[in-house]
Amino acid sequence: MYTLYFLGNRMKLMLAMLQRPAYSCIHIMSHPAELARIDAQLWWLNFSVLKDHALISTQQILRTWPRALLPLLLAPLLAVNGCVALPQAQHPAANLTAKPTPASTSVVQLPPAATHDEATQDHDPVPAALLQDSSQTAVDGVPMADDQADATTMAPVTLDSDALHRFGDVWETLRAGFTLHPADNARILAQRQWFASHQGYIDRMTARATRYLGYTSSEAAKRHLPTELALLPIIESAYDPFALSRAQASGMWQFIPGTGKVFGLRESWWYDGRRDVIDSTRAAYDFLSSLHDKYHDWALVLAAYNAGPGLIDKAIARNAAQGLPTDYWSLSLPAETMAYVPRFMAIVQLVQQPELYSVHLTPIVNQSYFRVVSIPGQLDLAAAAKLAGISLQDLYALNPGFNHWATDPEGPQRILVPAETASTFDTALASLPPPQRVITSHYRVKRGDNLFRIAQRFGLSPAELQHLNHLHSRHLHRGQTLVVTEAQKPLDSYRQSEDQRVAEQVTQTASLHRIHVHVTRRESLAKVAKHYHVSTEELASWNGLSKKSVCKRGQQLTLLVTKTTHQPAKSIHEHAARHSDKHKIRYAVRRGDTLFSISRRYRVSVDEIRAWNHRRHHHGLHPGQDLVIYVAENSDDS
């Protein structure tokens, strides 16, 4: 069976060729008779005709009655637009179950890259290869995790040559457990080229992974899972346990709150299990195992991990109804998911043969970098770091699930410390007197005090302060005595706490002001968003639209830009204004409250409240909900 490669299908063929000549390649699977007719028209064009390779089955194109006319229509268009021949290889749908047959190693020259926005706007299942642009810091228009402005910088763990000699290199152990053996195709090739040309990205990712990869690798092996899955955090977060996506997915495994709750990842003011190294790894492998029980195909498993099983089920049902293959490589999915599995397979190939692709992987000792130590109750992280003889930053790197300056009194009753930490630490910690674990004192309520202001002063949430004192309401009276806990060091010393991470992002940005732009001919929300380096979701949110809204010529759109540089904001939550004369409070939503009424009360804008609380849509508020607000010191925040 012979194959020519083009984009589009059926009636979209002509439109694609006229609108985007560079992408005019569809995949035509023909019977010998059809091939003969096509060859008769195209022999003089010197096109490469390949065997046994198709990305998308389009036999229905050739089943229509004017099959004899198809070559006559294609020939002049192909002569103008060109055709791309891809290397011979096994059908990628089979690439996760068996080793590939030998394939050609010829280099493919791909056509110019399409933009992510164009592809999604036209709902065209554009192969990732045709979207690749190695000059950018993204593949398929989807930014790589480490290229986000707020990616956590971590120095690599000092390599112990004796331990490396004794336990070996984790990369070698991973390779020994590889079972997926992905065959090559153009979509994987594009992703692999990006990684191979960005050694700096790999170095930054590896520096973070030195703390975690030994553990994630060993846990995969214990559960008899493909060890390749330990590489998934590279795609999800670049092994950044503090990563937070615009969809509010958190941690190195990037769980959204709902899925995290399903898999037992608890969230409280003190603690977020989605960032916990141990709990999130357990939950991720539970999730992946359950998906494999459902699909029995690791490519579909990975796609469902990214997009959700519901979306994958719909895509499979859609293909099945049309008589099309239902493997991952044949499905029409969102651009991010179309790139997700090829990106993962590209990483697997690079780890399998780094020398072949001129990539350097820093050696990592094949041993968990940390060990677990039980704690007798709530513990100030500064006290733990001092006993362990490490910095607070290093302790947070191993315990990223703790949101603030202490562990959660409700658990988990453990902390992680470097494996080399002396056993005397365990004894000293167990015998630490309660006043040295967490400072507890009493505070007498003064005139003008309220629960929010007192909680802010001691680094607590109003709900925590209320719980600590068994208060049934938030109303206080002058002279009332409250029990409070407070950090042993100034709160800004806990640089990796949630508040300090947000504050650092905020203080690095300039204040914002609005600009207005008018939509020109053929512009969409996606194109305007790309031009101003913001997401489509943010632009839609700023203008009360959905990301699928159609823009009209001349329509006015509002954007947020920095005053000092007159450049667009990179991300709305990174530019929440905070100044030296403001402090952070947590406001409990009351019955009848709206974002507008709250903004009027505290003299801030609705956009600022949305930014501080990562609210991109106009979902309603509910009583008891906590909102973060930055208010002036002299404001009435009761």
Task: Tell me the C-alpha distance between 559 and 543, whole Å.
Answer: 8
Q: What 3-state class would DSSP assign to 617?
A: coil
Question: Which helix or strand (DSSP H or E) is residue 143 part of?
Answer: strand 142-143
Task: Tell me the C-alpha distance between 391 and 388, whole Å.
Answer: 9
Question: How wide is the angle at C-alpha 416 spanned by C-alphas 413 and 419, nearest 5°?
Answer: 140
Closest CA to 526 of 550, 542, 553, 560: 550
Do 242 and 275 touch, CB atoms closer than 8 A?
yes
Do 374 and 417 touch, CB atoms closer than 8 A?
no
Do 148 and 201 touch, CB atoms closer than 8 A?
no
Q: Which of 34, 236, 486, 538 is catalytic?
A: 236
Helices (H) and strands (E) in the chain, counts: 27, 13
Paired tokens of 308:
């959700």
Q: Can you spell out the DSSP letters for 190-222?
A: HHHHHHHT-HHHHHHHHHHHTTTHHHHHHHHHH
Residue 236 among the catalytic residues: yes
Do 235 and 343 touch, CB atoms closer than 8 A?
yes
Neighbouring C-beta atoms of residue 285, cutoff 10 Å = 21
Instruction: List helix spans (H) across 239-355.
Output: 257-262, 277-295, 298-307, 309-321, 335-352
Closest CA to 28 of 5, 11, 12: 5
Task: Tell me the C-alpha distance between 124 and 209, whole Å.
Answer: 36
Neighbouring C-beta atoms of residue 528, cutoff 10 Å = 22
Do 446 and 478 touch, CB atoms closer than 8 A?
yes
Do 300 and 182 touch, CB atoms closer than 8 A?
no
Do 88 and 51 touch, CB atoms closer than 8 A?
yes
Task: Tell me the C-alpha distance between 225 and 301, whole Å.
Answer: 13
Number of residues that make up the chain: 638
CA separation, residue 24 to residues 9, 125, 424 (Å): 10, 13, 68
CA separation, residue 584 to residues 161, 301, 600, 612, 635 (Å): 47, 42, 17, 10, 12
Which residue is listed with tokens 């703790």?
402
Q: What 3-state class would DSSP assign to 595?
A: helix
Spatial CB neighbours of 236, under 8 Å, sequence gap ≥ 6: 145, 243, 249, 252, 253, 254
Q: What 3-state class would DSSP assign to 395?
A: helix
Do 42 and 2 touch, CB atoms closer than 8 A?
no
Do 577 and 564 touch, CB atoms closer than 8 A?
no
Task: Tell me the C-alpha distance between 546 and 540, whole Å.
Answer: 5
Residue type for 207, please?
A: A
Task: Tell me the C-alpha distance between 404 and 590, whole Å.
Answer: 26
Please, is 469 exposed, middle or buried when counting C-beta atoms within 10 Å of its C-beta (0-12, 13-18, 19+)?
middle
Q: Give me the active site residues, please.
A: 236
